[in-house]
Structures are given as structure tokens and as C-alpha cells.
Chain A
Amino acid sequence: MSKLKNLAFWKRPMPYQWRSMNFWKDTAWAYIYLSPALIILAIFTFYPFFSAFRLAMYKVSFTSFPGEYIGFGHFRYIFAHKYFWQALWHTVAIVGTSVPITLTLALMVASLLNKSLRFRTFARTSFFLSYITPMVAVIMVWRLMYNQQYGLINYLIGLFGTKPIAWLNRPEYAIPAVVILNVWRYVGYQAIILLAGMQGIDQMYYEAARIDGASGFQSWRRITVPLLTPQIFFLLIVSMIGSFKVFTEVFVLFNGPGPLKAAQTLVYYIMDQGFFGTPHYGRAAAASIILFGIIFVVTLIQMQVAKRRVHYQ
């Protein structure tokens, strides 16, 4: 079997099942049942995806669509545009802070929720509420909480003698405001995923560790965390992809890209190019392809790292 796996796919012999008529009948029926979903995906996902590559090569005109062919002109413009690099830096900052902070807090919360607590179900539900509440509604409430004059957050930090912070009106606080909101929103979701993973770990490992004299922390560090790596890896990929696409939080919190564009992310940059101000659809398409490329490369790197670090039971 391993010899077959090492062969290029076009050199491998035809699988045994392919010789059976029933196999092809079952395959055909499967695709017939899948076809409505595939048609919708084709129209609303695949076609726009590939159209973006085409649009990125044109200076789009609405009255003579698609417009003037300019090749890689949009890409040259974007790579020379200071606001693109600024947006990229902001996006990296959000990804680099919110992902590890959220995951760390989620791990701690999941560990606590895994214990035999009173009102454990209530606690688990409470943490998950932040994820299931509609995002725009949540962000509008946070916008009030961040208000410099009467917001809850400034009131709470004021109890420790700190002066009110202009969370939404000063550039230096823009990214922290987005990160705090992001962390709060996704901790519960990630904690539930990790909790499910914890509950799937065989208790015999803990019993063996207890017999060997391991402390609670040692068990957590040497058993729980390594056996949670599949879930951690999944959450890392999903949360990094999600953090690269931050837009709604910025748009609703700041009613724009933030003071001095301090919270402008890559997706906001794309929307700005295409929809806010003079519409440059071709440029927006080009920027979205660049974002796709960045996320694709990051995900590939993550998967390579995962091959060595993820332990499956």
C-alpha cells in the first residue's frame, strides 16, 4: 500500500470499485442530489471568484462593461499605494494579537468549564452567547461602551483612577478597541470547541498520570494540551482566516476606517476601493486576489507546521 501511495496518481492502477457499474450509478445519484447546492455554489461562489481574476485586469466601466484592459496595472497601483501597506500592517497586528490572546483565554475558560462546577451549564451558555448574538447589534452596544464620556469601559477603568480613554477617536486606541471586541466575541466559541475536545480525551491518560504522581498542571500541560492539538490547529486556521477578514467590526465601531485610518484593514481597503468613494471595481478585485494569496500562503504554512505538531489519538 505504501508503494502505491508513493506513485504519482496517473501511474496508479485503477481502483477496484471503478470497475463496478453500481459504483458509477451511486456516484451519479450522489451528484444529482448534490446538484442544487453545486449550482448555487457555482453561481454565487465559483463564478464571482473566477470573475474577480478577470475584473482585476480591467479598468471597469459600467456603461461598456468590462472596460479597458490594463493587465497588471491595478496590482502595480496597489503595491505602490501607502494605504494598502498600512491596511496590511493593521490586519497583521489584529491577527497577531487577537488570535493568540483568544486561543489562550479560550483554553483557560475551557479548562475551567471542564471541571465539576455548580451552574456549569449556565456558565457554558453564557460564554457562548457572545458568539451567537448578531454581530452588528453586539458592535453597536460596544460602540456605546467605548464612548469616551459615558461609556461603561471608561467608567470601569475610571474606578482605578484612569482618565477616560478616547477609544474611538484616537488612532493609538483603534486597533486595541477592535482586538478587545474580537477577543470577547470569539472566546466563547473557541472555548466550546476546546471543551468538546477535552471531553473526548480518554480518562486513562489522567489516571496513569495520577498514579505516576503528576500534578494537575502537569496533567494539563502534558496530556490535555497535546491531545487538544487537532482542535487548536483547527481553531488557529479558522481564527486566522477570520481575523484576516475583519471588516464589520471596524465599519460599525468607527463608522469608517477609524481616526486617521488607524483601523483600516485589508477588507476595508478593498471595500473602500470598490464601494466607498469613487468605485474602482478592478482595483478592489485585484486587492481581494492579493488578500486571497496571503491567506492561502499562511494556511499552507500552518498545515505544514501541523504535520509535525498535531497529535491525533
Chain B
Amino acid sequence: MKLRNLVIVALVAAFAMSFVVAGQTTIEFWHRFSERHNDTLLQLSTWFEAENPDIQIEWIYQGSYSALQQSITGAVVANEVPTMTIFYEDWIPPVADALLPLGPYFTDAEVADIVPGLLYKDMLTVPFNKSIMVLYYIEEYVETPPTTWEEFYNLCVENTVDEDGDGVFDRYGTGIRPAANPEQFLCLLEQNNGKVLSDDWSEVLLGNDAGLEALEFYASLAPYAWVTSEYLNSNIGYVAMAIDTSAGYYYWNRAAEGAGLTVKTAPLPVGEKAASFIQGTNIGIFKDAPQDQIDAAIKFLKFLLQPENTGYWAAMTGYLPVTLGGLDSAVWKYTEATSPEVIASSTMMPLGVSSLSHPNYGDMRSALSTMCEEVMLGASSVADALANAVAEIESLLDY
């Protein structure tokens, strides 16, 4: 009798549980965050699920960024897409038709709270993990970080030294990665009020006076720069300062500590205006996902953009808050107080711009890299390199 009752209770419980599970919406979220970033993701989803017990987030790690991109491509072609995933800007155009425009789901106030440089045409995605270009400098070589282009140039000259007189420089003023990081040049372009394309993408503006001046300044650094494809912190102490992504601070600091040096960050030197370049990924939702998953995904997106949550994500990962409210959140203010190296990033974030979401931006970036390399390695004059880049980018305007 007792056993029979137990069996009946178990069956009823299982039956009841099936309704609970069936009533729960599961969001499939593809990502590429591993180790310490993954723990932070799990914490955020735990908090969200506590507030929304009818929604479950299923995190699916896809490996490297290139593996994730290929997974997204395959999923779109096979029409077996997840609910949401992260994207770099230039991944978006080939799959734009498969994404849900998010503008109608956000209020004007919510949109206005997003850092201005992170908003895209049609709002197909919202920003998530972002970093910004800042100035790294070795305190032992640079007492006061430069605040203008002129000061930056002068410090580069001063810090390019041959200490042992063997005809080989032992230290350079700065480090430039023209092929891997044309964003260093794009920061200068933006600071000089220059642009690559017009706002409607119909014209290439790179070749105008602002672009020429920015490239001339960039080229003037060549004799005082370690031009390389290596990561600039791979040979710490070889450069006195460098423009690099804020997300690399962990590696810069670790390298500096190992060499007995002190690395600090500062806002980028100012040209005509203060500006910097923001990099990182966004989150998009696929429109072919079931409606209940889309609704749940929208809720989760808004949760991630809440000031304390974007601030928490940034504080734990080394990225930056993607909303103005996040930059003012208590958790981020605490992070600024305890980790002063992030102050430079916070200062620059509202002034940052992102890469274009033009469908051929990947090829345009390649043209910019080639231009930067030709100038840095002395293979072309500034005018010729600029003209070549403009011609190539003009051929990429149509898509």
C-alpha cells in the first residue's frame, strides 16, 4: 500500500513538473566567452533567472570568434538559428535580413542611454562587450602622459634612444601595428574630424584634407615607432607608450610587472577634438526564433543594459559599460576608485566611435591596413598610399 502510494505521488509530481518545464522558455545564447568571462555570464543569467523564473538562458560556447562566425553563417544558411548571439559589426550585413530590428522594442529613453558611438543603422543589435583605444605609457619613461598630438610626437622623439651606442635603437617612443590595428590610425582620423565614408555611404571622405593631415601625422611617427605585427606588450619596455585597446590592460600590466616596470593608462592625446575608437561585439536576436523566445530575449537584453548589470559585466571582465547610466553606476564608480586604470577608458567612452557597419567594411579595413603599412614601412608616400586606399574603398562602395 505504502509503495503504491509512493509511486502515485511520484507520477503526479513528474506530471506536474512537465507543466513547469513546458511553461518555461529557454533562450539559446551563442557566445565565445571562456574562463573568467564565462563565470560572469553565468552570474548575470542567474540573477536574471531569479527575477524571471519562467525564462532559462542556455549558454552555448562556440569557441573562437572565427568559429562563432562560421557557426552563425552555417546556422543562417541552414535556417537553424539560435535565439541570440554576439556579433562583430562587420558580421552583421551578410545576415542582416535574418536579424530582428530591435528599435521598436526599446523606448527613446533606453536608446538615448546607450553610448552614442555604439548605435547602428536600424538598430539590428545592441552593444555588449566593448573596449576603447587608450594610451598606455611606461611611467619610468614617461612622467606625464601627452595630452596633444604635438606633445605625443615630442615624447616619441625623446624616448627613441640608442642607449648602448651600437646603432640599433634600444627603445622606441611608440609602437604601431599597421596591418593588425589600423584602428590606431582611425583614432587619429576621428580626432582630426575626418571620416572614411559619408554618412549615407555614397562617398569616400578619407582622401580629403582631414584624412591627409591625419595620415601625415601618423607617418611622422614612423622613425620613432616600433613597427610590428606583434602585440605591443610582448616586448614590454621596448616602447615608451602606445595606443592600444583597453581590453589589453591585463596583459600589459602582467608584462610590465614581470619586467619590473609600471604601466599606466591615459586618455588619447587630442587632435582637433578628443575622440577614440570603440571595438567589441554586439548582441542580436534572430527573427525566425519562436515569439516566446524573442520576447524573453528582449527582456534579457534590457536586463543586460541596466546600469548596474552593464557596470557589473564591465567591472568583472575588463570591458566597459555600454550605457551612460552604466558609466555612472555605483559598481562602475567603485571600479574606477579601486582600479584607476579604467578612468581613461571611462573618460573616452562617450567620445568614442565604432567601425562602420557597411557590408564591405571588412575589405575596406584591409585597404586601410595596407595604406597604414605602406606608409609605416616607407613603401609609398603618404599621398600615394592615401590615393590607393581611396581608390580601393571607392570600388567597395557598391554591395
Q: Which residues of A contact B (CB under 8 A)?
A: 61-65, 147, 149-150, 163-164, 168-171, 254-261, 272, 275-279
Contact = CB atoms under 8 A, between A and B. Distances in A.
Contacts of A150: 235
At the interface, is chain A mostly helix, strand, loop or mixed? Answer: loop
Contacts of B362: 276-279
A260 B374 CA distance: 7
Given A171-B377, A256-B180, A277 B366 contact: yes
Contacts of B66: 275
Interface in B21-62: none
Contacts, number: 71
Contacts of A61: 94
Contacts of B313: none
A231 to B, nearest CB: 39
B9 interface: no
A278 B374 contact: no
B304 interface: no
Interface string B231-250: 00001001000000000000
A259 B361 contact: no
B359 interface: yes
B363 A62 contact: no
Nearest to B365: A277
At the interface, is chain B mostly helix, strand, loop or mixed? Answer: helix
B317 interface: no
Contacts of A65: 77
B168 A278 contact: no
B179 A259 contact: yes
A275 B64 CA distance: 13
B98 interface: yes
Given A63-B97, A163-B168, A260-B374, A255 B363 contact: no
B238 A255 contact: no
Contact of B229 (A256, A275, A278): A256
8 closest A-B pairs by beta carbon, nearest first, are A277-B362, A278-B362, A63-B97, A278-B363, A62-B76, A65-B77, A278-B360, A277-B366
Contacts of B73: 62, 279
B77 A149 contact: no
A261 B370 contact: yes
Nearest to A255: B229
B360 A149 contact: no
B168 A164 contact: yes
